[in-house]
């Protein structure tokens, strides 16, 4: 290794700790100094900062000295470095990161929506409202409890409103589920042969849900960002349609893309404790999510919002139509 480089590395080793104590410095290394956008041949100690500041915004003790032990320094603005991935603590918190009601594990902060002119966090009922168990005013943590989000330090918002999920009534042991299914099967046949005498099962028609959605009001509006990680700002909304290419950023699988393969989907979704809820008018894409991605905003290729992700299997991802979400919660962009 070149002698100059070795000596700079040693100097950095001695001063690194002190540099990292300065506000803003998030990384240090050795590199060629860049002056007026051009790489020079001068080896320097490079300090990466979230945002470049100059006095008086920056106090003297937090200013990186221009020269350390005869070696030039270079300050580079990199923005936050996502070494912690999407499960870390973010302020301001953008869409795509871990979030959750105090009593759950963790889900995803979808995006910001407006209600009565105020910005709210949009995610699922089962993320922000603990599947109907939450009460307005409950604290929401970023990151979520599973990602070491703690009360009170990581509070970011308070539950404002949610659309209750209607769960299927558990069948009593030896219940009539089988009989009902059988009657249905027979009715299929009856339909085909146009029989007038059709078997009537005791039909307990469970309510169909359209959305798994909730909103939370940030404690401080400055703690949230209207951008979504890896995606950017939302342009508008669009109607999800068959064959549409979509994308999302979520806590677990981060940035992924997919295609809408089915529309007008009616689907039975398993929740915790074996509870099942039936949803209608859903959109189905191929596999593009896993546990923890719930609440992700789903967008088309032009950054229009089309859905709110909430469920999936090994081969599918299910999301609510954003139009249904907005009208159920009375929110907009």
Partner 1 sequence: MSPSIEDVKKKYTQRLLAMPGVISVGIGKDPEGLPVIIVGLERPQPETQKKLPKTLEGYPLHIEIIGKIRAQ
Binding site for partner 1 (CB under 8 A): 107, 124, 126, 131, 180-181, 184-185, 187-188, 192, 201, 205, 212, 242-243, 261-272, 278, 280, 282, 284, 289-294, 309-316, 318
Asked if 22 contacts 61 with a C-beta cutoff of 8 angstroms, the reply is: yes
Least separation in angstroms between residue 261's CB and partner 1 is 6
Round to whole Å and give the CA distance between 109 and 150. 16
Rg (CA), the chain: 26
Q: Which is nearer to partner 1, 135 or 185 (CB)?
A: 185
The C-alpha atoms of residue 304 and residue 16 are separated, in whole angstroms, by 44
What sign for the dihedral angle of Cα 102, 135, 277, 306? negative
| Closer CB to partner 1, 90 or 319, in the complex | 319
Q: How far is the CB of 60 from partner 1 (least distance, A)?
A: 49
Comparison of 160 and 293: residue with beta carbon closer to partner 1: 293
Please say which residue, 117 or 173, places its beta carbon nearer to partner 1. Answer: 173
CA-based max dimension of the chain: 97
Nearer to partner 1, 133 or 270 (CB): 270
Q: How far is CA 54 from CA 5, 28, 174, 206, in A?
A: 29, 19, 74, 62
Yes or no: say if 279 and 269 are a contact pair by the CB < 8 Å rule.
yes
Q: How far is the CB of 185 from partner 1 (least distance, A)?
A: 6
If we measure between CA atoms, which residue out of 46, 52, 50 comes closest to residue 71? 46
Q: Smallest distance from the beta carbon of 226 to partner 1, in angstroms? A: 24
Find out whether 67 and 42 touch, Cβ atoms under 8 Å.
Answer: no
State how far the Cα of 259 lies from the Cα of 124, in Å rounded to an integer. Answer: 21
Give the N- to C-terminal CA distance of the chain in Å, as an integer: 55
Question: In the complex, what is the shortest distance from the CB of residue 323 to partner 1, in angstroms, rounded to a whole number?
Answer: 16
Question: How far apart are CB 183 and partner 1 at their closest, in Å?
Answer: 8
Rounded to a whole number of angstroms, the minimum distance from the CB of residue 333 to partner 1 is 24
**Nearest CB to partner 1, comparing residues 90 and 310:** 310
Question: Quick one: which of 279, 321, 280, 275 has its CA closest to 297?
Answer: 321
Closest CB to partner 1 among residues 50, 176: 176
Q: At closest approach, how far in Å is the CB of 135 from partner 1? A: 20
Asked if the bond preceding 56 is cis, omega within 30° of 0, the reply is yes
Q: Which is nearer to partner 1, 19 or 263 (CB)?
A: 263
């Amino acid at each position: 290794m070149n002698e100059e480089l070795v000596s700079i590395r040693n100097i950095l080793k001695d001063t690194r700790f002190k540099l990292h104590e300065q506000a803003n410095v998030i990384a240090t290394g050795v590199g060629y100094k860049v002056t007026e956008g051009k790489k020079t041949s001068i080896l320097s100690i490079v300090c990466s900062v979230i945002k470049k500041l100059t006095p008086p915004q920056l106090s003297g003790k937090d200013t990186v000295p221009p020269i350390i032990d005869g070696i030039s320094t270079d300050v580079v603005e990199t923005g936050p470095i996502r070494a912690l991935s999407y499960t870390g603590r973010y302020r301001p918190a953008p869409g795509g990161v871990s979030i959750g009601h105090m009593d759950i594990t963790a889900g995803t902060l979808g995006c910001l929506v407006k209600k009565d002119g105020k910005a709210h966090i949009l995610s699922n009922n089962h993320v922000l409202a603990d599947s109907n168990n939450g009460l307005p005013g409950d604290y929401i943590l970023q990151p979520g409890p599973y990602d070491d989000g703690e009360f009170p330090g990581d509070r970011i918002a308070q539950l404002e409103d949610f659309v209750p999920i209607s769960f299927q009534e558990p069948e009593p042991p030896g219940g009539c589920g089988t009989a009902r299914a059988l009657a249905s099967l027979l009715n299929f046949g009856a339909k085909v042969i146009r029989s007038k005498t059709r078997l009537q099962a005791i039909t307990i028609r469970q309510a169909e849900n359209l959305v798994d959605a909730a909103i939370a009001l940030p404690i401080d509006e400055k703690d949230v960002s209207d951008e979504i990680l890896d995606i950017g700002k939302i342009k508008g909304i669009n109607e999800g349609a068959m064959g549409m290419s979509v994308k999302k950023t979520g806590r677990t699988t981060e940035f992924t893309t997919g295609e809408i393969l089915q529309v007008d989907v009616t689907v039975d979704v398993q929740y915790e404790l074996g509870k099942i809820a039936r949803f209608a008018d859903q959109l189905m894409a191929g596999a593009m999510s896993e546990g923890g991605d719930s609440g992700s905003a789903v967008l088309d290729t032009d950054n229009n919002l089309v859905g709110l992700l909430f469920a999936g299997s090994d081969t599918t991802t299910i999301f609510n139509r954003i139009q249904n979400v907005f009208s159920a919660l009375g929110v907009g962009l």
